[in-house]
Structure 1
């Protein structure tokens, strides 16, 4: 601390306080205000809010088309037609958990079927596989698809009475683009574009989204402008775009601003750099030479709680509290503010970043300018002042306590947000031409993953162990290449390849997969750390090494030209740790689907499914050798709606956290020894050109094959239908795993330990298993017991919905429902009567207690 205050005093004495720069990730509320105040007291105003994904093209497009600066909140649940031009809103785009919940509402079946959804982009992402049709393009050609739709909407015209200003803006954008040129460049039939435009025009509230990440694809600004123009020509689209409550992502500084600061560093114009929760050395393109710029700074202070690539260059590290140790507040958009409370004391010798700045401020400027004792007091004072405005008449302390109790404040949103209809700017696109390819050339795209985002999740073992939803790969990076192209080049899974661009190169294992077009390569972002922590994977791949250092003059984001890359196979091979057993179902009908027409007919006929219920009425003396089990009051069961499941894997990570599931690492996964109690099975569907997901926990069968083969009765059928695993009885014969047709039992080959302080996160309600013991999903029996004890104290039975399993609680789309099958009014009892219901491998007569609702499919252009 003395070093920091000494440097601050020295810089102030030289009159160079304007050379102090503070770089942080997104901060809001009290902390942001305090950082601004602290910098002003020190004589600086340079607070750079840095995020690798800053959406400059999206922000510029909103300014050009809607006259609004910022990023709105989108209301997918208000739309009835959706087309996404690369926006992965089910993965990492803006507010993915919120949008996943809205998407589930958007796709809820109604009398006309399901609301249509199209995805346009160079990779079959998690969002793409949840669409009715993935329309594959080369990276940078997405805007051409939108332009084709615009031409049909305006030139045909499919939408009548378009205001002349909007019509002129569209014509300015599409001038010079003939339909022949669009279809010739993209390879998409003209009829497909016409039908997409037709559905867009017939919808009441259509919505077009664009990714807006300039480093990910070329022509991001053109694509975002085209998507916004689609929304501008249809008056109903404005009901799904909420500029009254803009996203906090609109407050992030642009890449141009970051480039300006980087140049100042390079020229010795920064004397003190303070970095908090930001890692630009890793997340910026290598061509920026940001690390070299850092070496020109006399003194760098990092408040990071981990030794990342940027912190490695710091002269002084003052580790700040993690969010679990901190007080604070956060406002993702106007009207919603959450209170951050510490759930534990500091693990190490760290402080709140506000306390560090406060102590430095007191020493430099004295207690008169910084009178509060700590940041917690600053936070309380701030909220007490807010209370005078938000709740006049309420005592300030009372308002603070009430806010603390409910976790924050929020204001109700209007059901149908609307934006005014401004005059769009006549934007003439200047796209980067997608280059023609030679025999060994490829288009290239880099994509953020749901596990690692921009790399900040790479040191979290739960996320490393979680398989990628599409590739099913863990603990490493990879490049996706089309299987036909891989076969042509003699490349097999795990072969090390070198990808070279005009700006750099990288080595990465190949993974042939039909998730990219024939001449496109896709690499995930987030791996390839050189400094971050023991769990971050260093080998193979940070795709930022391939990107240029230029800035787009229009959007002020990174300029990502449409360059081509070359691929060279090396004489090395590494095994790729992935968990999928098969790419396809091979007609086993495990993850089932039903067409909208069949669904409507079933509803009309009031058809009920034929099920092998895990109840006495599910037994047939002609088929069943053993008598049914007697269940007392409860028969716990689960229903999983495959039409709502998006395959995100949140339930898998929640199960790891709740049930102390061991992290085994890459080597054990390569041997097929993963320990996850719940897995998401992904099957590609060649008929539909997409994929199906099926969460697979223990089935808790009433006729469980595992119970009859154990010589020591470790698998035990409880009075409430649970297939319990008695750990003290288990001697590790593994007969139960061999006899389980669902393959959901896991064997502990070792006693897996958790290095301190990770052992602190163990759930004290759940036994930690040892070497030689079999384990599996318990339906979160510890939660069942807790609910029963609470009900017993109150002299009643457990109510439906009073508690649920960790997977059901975490699912953002509410695809999982848990409850008592013996309660005829419970949600599970009602859901299993729907004619979509089925059981996996029901012909084996295991009588599983996990039921599935078939996924609903529809022909994308049926209407």
Structure 2
């Protein structure tokens, strides 16, 4: 075909195509005449805010753009052009995460657009726990809530009112505590990350400061970590990953050494320079065996120990009872190894010792935390560069501190019927407690439960009234991270988009009730909305005219915060650090051999997973699909076991087994790993939800169902790592879904 014929045939084809367009049905272009506010068509917007998926307080930049969506307004769905969140990245100007962001933070849009969000107020229409509800209006929901609260307020019997607030927002915990206190109730309870209350109490006893300490990893030369999975699901994974990266590679010609001491081969243990697989629950004794070497060989800081209260009694006690050669067999760590690590730590200063996780989740967890801090005290690192520091925010305006959530069930047991109305605010106490501890039964016995929540979780399903709360991408909040050394950081959470559903910021609901009732309650909480509450509690005298930027008044400060996302005060906390070790000799635990059981030969070591944490992100498919870094397993629960143990019991990889404790039993498949101690079985937290949406409901098992309800001495916190179990073979196989080893499975097929 020549060029002329080719062009001619092409013209005929184009003409035919144009002619045929008239043969189809009519098409209508329907413009969206009600655009969302603040939309610039075709232009992306990047807005600074703060991630609230966990309490770490990482700064984020949220990309949003116009898009079409179905929105719910006044009970009617309609299509509308709205601003939509497209992506979340780390904020490079934020002091906590410096532009990085973990997988859970990246999954923020799946919280906002989750198909299982509660879209309208709900009233129970079936038995509690059935999940059957009827949609109602906000007016009806608020009227019902007020009818239940008003008699308690009017009669002066507000002690019958209680609330449990989740750990995603300290400011909301404070608001609810102030609200209840103004009504005459002290029963505000808070959820906190696992282990945090024990660490706070240890800090109070040793250093006289109840906030969490900050670990200056970047400037340390030697790090001892006792059970703290700082690269996994510790207090601030991004912050610790950055710190450890600088510790390893950020100082040319100088590389620190990192030693992990714990009974499970965690992500942190896998990345440590050295792992000491001590017998679970003996981490405190390992710390004191290290202290013995430092004391005996006088490797301690001679000047610093002069100011330690109780030093001489502590020294005599440790030298008498914790010689490495005397305790090595009980700890299952060679004496020579203990001595070598102790000398390295003392001679490579500045160095620091830290703890967390399962190490402080035994009945003697407070003792363990204190023993670890004794190492810091001996080398003189508290309050020093490369050691342990504190955030300057601890000096600022104090707010009423709610009681720990576990105390709620204890109060109900000790005084049955004393709580008439319970408010659950982004909390899930029925999931995060031993099944035999009575949390679920306590919910069932409470006459009226109201829930402020975005999702139907394991506890919300027992509420009589559910008011849909907004997510962190639709509301205001302020976070002051506890992971920044010597500075005060104020990080803003701000709404990126308006809600697609009939949700409200329940902080505004609480403030509206306070204003309506007036009197003492209205005087305590006079703010028109939660923004004004946040401004008032930041304190103009604390933030104006100093820090990373200055402002003339709080309105100007707030406007600047909306553009920057974070304010930093570099003024160092110069509060004098005191050290007191007097409580340790009296808190000594039982010998390790007396903690074991012939009937239950294995130590159960639950752990917070990198993707699901303690279970709050189990409803996000991205997190279910994120492979566990140590096993590559997705979409389900597994039990880590040593191959030698498996051979002894005739168990194969992937076989279903029962884990049975004195409190119950659960079934899950076995994952064999030579890194597991032969006397330990490990299982992740996060799965086993009875509710919480299509991606979490009925998937895997919840270790809390078999955890024996023991507590950490002198704190009352659950000793969730102190349970002993036995393994029962079933002879059945299960599909253990591992990245790179399984193909062709849909989410619905996984772990049926």
TM-score by length of 1: 0.63
Deviation sequence 1:552-588 (CA, Å, 0-9, x none): 3423322458453110011322110111459xxxxxx
Q: Which residue of 2 aligns with 1:15?
A: 156
Deviation sequence 1:86-135 (CA, Å, 0-9, x none): 01111122222111111111111656552111101011111111101111
Per the TM alignment, residue 277 of structure 1 is displaced from its structure 2 partner at its CA by 1.1
Per the TM alignment, residue 226 of structure 1 is displaced from its structure 2 partner at its CA by 1.4
Q: Which residue of 2 aligns with 1:242?
A: 389
Say if 2:410 is the partner of 1:260: yes
CA, structure 1 residues 200+127, in 2 after alignment: closer, same or farther (shift >3 Å)? same
Q: Which residue of 2 aligns with 1:82?
A: 223
> Residues 811-830 of structure 1: matches in 2 within 5 Å?
none
Q: Which residue of 1 aligns with 2:99?
A: none
Q: Which residue of 1 aligns with 2:492?
A: 339
Q: Which residue of 2 aligns with 1:156?
A: 297
> Residues 666-677 of structure 1: matches in 2 within 5 Å?
666=747
Say if 2:573 is the partner of 1:424: no
Q: Which residue of 1 aligns with 2:199?
A: 58
Distance 1:37 1:110 in 2: 47
Per the TM alignment, residue 534 of structure 1 is displaced from its structure 2 partner at its CA by 0.7
Answer yes or no: is the 8 Å Cα contact 1:50–1:258 preserved in 2: no
Helix, strand or coil for the counterpart of 1:107? helix
Say if 2:468 is the partner of 1:319: yes
Distance 2:668 2:400 in 1: 34
CA, structure 1 residues 273+28, in 2 after alignment: closer, same or farther (shift >3 Å)? same
> Residues 516-595 of structure 1: matches in 2 within 5 Å?
516-559=676-719, 562-580=722-740
Helix, strand or coil for the counterpart of 1:283? coil
Answer yes or no: is the 8 Å Cα contact 1:432–1:562 preserved in 2: no
Distance 1:360 1:241 in 2: 43
Per the TM alignment, residue 6 of structure 1 is displaced from its structure 2 partner at its CA by 0.7
> Residues 634-713 of structure 1: matches in 2 within 5 Å?
665-666=746-747
Q: Which residue of 1 aligns with 2:330?
A: 185
Q: Which residue of 2 aligns with 1:394?
A: 552
Per the TM alignment, residue 410 of structure 1 is displaced from its structure 2 partner at its CA by 1.4
Q: Which residue of 2 aligns with 1:280?
A: 429
> Residues 41-440 of structure 1: matches in 2 within 5 Å?
41-108=182-249, 110=251, 113-159=254-300, 161=302, 162-163=305-306, 165-173=310-318, 175-211=320-356, 216-217=361-362, 219-236=364-381, 238-239=383-384, 240-245=387-392, 253-254=403-404, 257-263=407-413, 267-333=416-482, 335-365=488-518, 373-379=528-534, 385=540, 389-390=544-545, 394-412=552-570, 414=572, 420-428=577-585, 429-434=587-592, 435-436=595-596, 438=598
CA, structure 1 residues 309+537, in 2 after alignment: closer, same or farther (shift >3 Å)? closer
CA, structure 1 residues 388+58, in 2 after alignment: closer, same or farther (shift >3 Å)? closer
CA, structure 1 residues 405+181, in 2 after alignment: closer, same or farther (shift >3 Å)? same
Q: Which residue of 1 aligns with 2:652?
A: 492
Distance 1:7 1:668 in 2: 44
Answer yes or no: is the 8 Å Cα contact 1:504–1:545 preserved in 2: yes
Distance 1:220 1:559 in 2: 8
Helix, strand or coil for the counterpart of 1:282? coil
Deviation sequence 1:514-533 (CA, Å, 0-9, x none): 23111110011111111111
Aligned residues: 589
CA, structure 1 residues 376+210, in 2 after alignment: closer, same or farther (shift >3 Å)? closer
Answer yes or no: is the 8 Å Cα contact 2:229–2:266 preserved in 1: yes
Distance 1:363 1:350 in 2: 21
Answer yes or no: is the 8 Å Cα contact 2:358–2:721 preserved in 1: no
Helix, strand or coil for the counterpart of 1:557? coil
Please provide the CA RMSD for this pair.
Answer: 3.2
Deviation sequence 1:726-762 (CA, Å, 0-9, x none): xxxxxxxxxxxxxxxxxxxxxxxxxxxxxxxxxxxxx
Distance 1:33 1:579 in 2: 43
Answer yes or no: is the 8 Å Cα contact 1:146–1:227 preserved in 2: yes
Distance 2:262 2:145 in 1: 48
Per the TM alignment, residue 238 of structure 1 is displaced from its structure 2 partner at its CA by 4.2
> Residues 758-769 of structure 1: matches in 2 within 5 Å?
none
Distance 1:327 1:481 in 2: 45
Per the TM alignment, residue 261 of structure 1 is displaced from its structure 2 partner at its CA by 3.3
Per the TM alignment, residue 61 of structure 1 is displaced from its structure 2 partner at its CA by 2.5
CA, structure 1 residues 250+445, in 2 after alignment: closer, same or farther (shift >3 Å)? farther
1:26 corresponds, among 167, 171, 174, to 167
CA, structure 1 residues 218+27, in 2 after alignment: closer, same or farther (shift >3 Å)? same
Helix, strand or coil for the counterpart of 1:300? strand
Answer yes or no: is the 8 Å Cα contact 2:174–2:402 preserved in 1: no
Per the TM alignment, residue 172 of structure 1 is displaced from its structure 2 partner at its CA by 2.8
Point out which structure has higher relative CO (alpha carbons under 8 A, 6+ apart). Answer: 2
- Structure 1: where are the runs of 5+ without partners? 583-662, 671-863
- Structure 2: where are the runs of 5+ without partners? 1-141
Per the TM alignment, residue 382 of structure 1 is displaced from its structure 2 partner at its CA by 5.6
Distance 2:400 2:345 in 1: 28
Distance 1:64 1:40 in 2: 27
Helix, strand or coil for the counterpart of 1:222? helix
Answer yes or no: is the 8 Å Cα contact 2:365–2:713 preserved in 1: no
Distance 2:271 2:566 in 1: 33
CA, structure 1 residues 125+262, in 2 after alignment: closer, same or farther (shift >3 Å)? farther
2:639 corresponds, among 451, 468, 479, to 479
Helix, strand or coil for the counterpart of 2:656? strand
Say if 2:630 is the partner of 1:470: yes
Answer yes or no: is the 8 Å Cα contact 2:435–2:705 preserved in 1: yes
Per the TM alignment, residue 536 of structure 1 is displaced from its structure 2 partner at its CA by 0.6
Distance 1:219 1:150 in 2: 18
Per the TM alignment, residue 373 of structure 1 is displaced from its structure 2 partner at its CA by 4.5
Q: Which piece of structure 1 moves more, 197-206 or 548-557?
A: 548-557
Distance 2:193 2:551 in 1: 44
Per the TM alignment, residue 407 of structure 1 is displaced from its structure 2 partner at its CA by 1.0
CA, structure 1 residues 432+572, in 2 after alignment: closer, same or farther (shift >3 Å)? farther
Distance 2:402 2:334 in 1: 39
Per the TM alignment, residue 212 of structure 1 is displaced from its structure 2 partner at its CA by 5.6
Helix, strand or coil for the counterpart of 2:349? coil
Answer yes or no: is the 8 Å Cα contact 2:362–2:719 preserved in 1: no
